[in-house]
Amino acid sequence: MKFSKLSQLFLVSAIGLILATFLTACQLVTIDFVFVAASAGTSAGSAGQIYTYAVDSESGALRTGDPVVSSGGTKPVAMAVDGAYTDLYVANAGNNSVVHFSIAGSGAITQKDTITTAKTPVSLAVNPAGTYLYVVSGTTSATLTEYSLSSGAIGSAAATITLAVPSPNSGDTLIPTGVNSLANGDAVYVTAYDQSAYNPGGVTTSSANPGWLFGYAVGSGGALSPVAGSPYEAGVKPSSLVSDPTNRFVYVNDFASNELIGYIVQSNNSLDFMINGPFKTGNEPSSIYIDPRGLYIYVSNLLDSSVSAYSIALPTGTPSTIVSATASAGNSTDTQPVGIIVEPALGRYVYTANYLGNSISGFRLNPNTGSLTETQATPYPTGANPAAVIAVPHGNHAVQIVTP
């Protein structure tokens, strides 16, 4: 069969269009960047490093992103981002530093400024407005420090509070474990445990309740004042905490009792226990996160190397265990997950930082049920001993939010 030049041109154009359509359909679309803080090696003095990964929109698989960046210190243990996803903060326990990085739309991070903390930093939080950075620090005592932020830069301390258990045990050794800011910025909460009352393998000298949750209202100029009833009992060894996007609920992991403790936030930011709690987790719950729609809770379990999933009953905040026959047994991760996040762009993928696995595990989140299934090619390798993980949306990509 012979073709005219016009027919040949049409055929070539059609083939080109089909090929272009095919390639476009197969194109990888990045929806988020995931940052993981890890050590460069296994020795105690190894410099900290931040690894960047791109999240594929279709599969949730992670691809290596920008080159590895120094964390600005040693032994990074925590990270936080501001509400605009333009600034990243990293706590380095090895040299008592908190380092500020700017985040470009491409996911590239650039070190900006650094502060040295008087005590070893343990956990970080930034209020959504990006005006205050909260740092809890200490290995033999607990201190909450609030730093002012200006265009992301860390300024002077606006408030410093030494945490203590109620009298007559105020002289006990209190160890901080986590900090969280409400979505409206009106309050900040801190978890800690009393080592004088809970010290496995060591001596105890106190009969006080071991676990505590402290609450502070944020006033004019960042002034911090205890909310009514603070501190609240929080099990035996609270390891992490989270609040929901509507400012109504606070949840705390109890590492020692394998439980999730729920609190209801009152109008004055004080807390009441959820009357039907606490709720069962896996063994040694280490980290906790709520999806950006405020529907599901995910808890990483250190000893089990697994993730527990819960749905939130919106009227009461009660978490109910999600069971899915399609999920991997117990939502298994690599070894010792210590951090967990839900990516903010779609709210469809969950990632854990696995300390002994030297990896990230990925899961696809079913938005209708909250159940999890493994992402393609999980787990993904990292540097040695990843201790913290966080995610930001790619460029101007929309994020999943809940308006209270």
**Long-range Cβ contact pairs of 93-100 (< 8 A, separation 24 or more):** 93/120, 93/121, 93/122, 94/44, 94/45, 94/48, 96/120, 96/121, 96/137, 97/72, 97/73, 97/121, 98/124, 98/133, 98/135, 98/154, 99/71, 99/72, 99/73, 100/152, 100/153, 100/154
Q: Which is more confidently placed, 29 or 217?
A: 217
Least confident range of 13-27, 45-59, 159-173, 248-262: 13-27
pLDDT at 119 over 80: yes
Coil, strand or helix: which one is 128? Answer: coil
- Tell me phi and psi for residue 15, to 5 degrees: -60, -40
Mean pLDDT of 159-172: 94
Measured from the Cβ of residue 25, the count of other Cβ atoms closer than 10 Å reads: 8
pLDDT at 396 over 80: no
pLDDT at 283 over 70: yes
pLDDT tens, position by position, 125-142:
999 999 999 999 999 999
Q: How far apart are CA 335 and CA 207, in angstroms?
A: 35
Residue 3 banded pLDDT, cuts 50, 70, 90: very low
Mean pLDDT of 103-112: 95
pLDDT at 328 over 70: no
Contact partners, residue 318, CB within 8 Å, separation at least 6: 262, 274, 276, 277, 279, 312
Q: Which is more confidently placed, 1 or 83?
A: 83
Coil, strand or helix: which one is 149? Answer: strand
Residue 323 banded pLDDT, cuts 50, 70, 90: low
Average per-residue pLDDT for the chain: 90
Q: Are 379 and 354 in contact (CB under 8 A)?
A: yes
Write the CATH number of the domain with boundaries 31-393. 2.130.10.10
pLDDT tens, position by position, 63-81:
998 899 999 999 999 999 9
Nearest Cα neighbor of 47 from 74, 71, 69 is 74
Q: Which is more confidently placed, 399 or 355?
A: 355
Q: What is the torsional sign of CA 71, 73, 77, 80?
A: negative
The encoded tokens of residue 404 equal 């209270």
DSSP alpha helix (H) spans, 27-164:
none
Name the percent of the chain in helix, strand, coil, to the closest 5: 5, 50, 45
Mean pLDDT of 289-312: 97
Nearest Cα neighbor of 238 from 193, 187, 283 is 193
User: Which pLDDT does position 314 carry in this prediction?
Assistant: 86
Residue 40 banded pLDDT, cuts 50, 70, 90: confident
Residue 44 banded pLDDT, cuts 50, 70, 90: low
Nearest Cα neighbor of 198 from 167, 154, 234, 155 is 234
Domain-wise residue ranges, the chain? 31-393
End-to-end CA distance of the chain: 68
pTM, two decimal places: 0.90
User: Which pLDDT does position 269 carry in this prediction?
Assistant: 98
User: Which pLDDT does position 23 carry in this prediction?
Assistant: 34
Looking at this protein, which amino acid is placed at residue 279?
F
Residue 154 banded pLDDT, cuts 50, 70, 90: very high
Bridging pattern class, strands 30-39 and 384-393: antiparallel
pLDDT at 390 over 70: yes
Q: Are 260 and 286 in contact (CB under 8 A)?
A: no
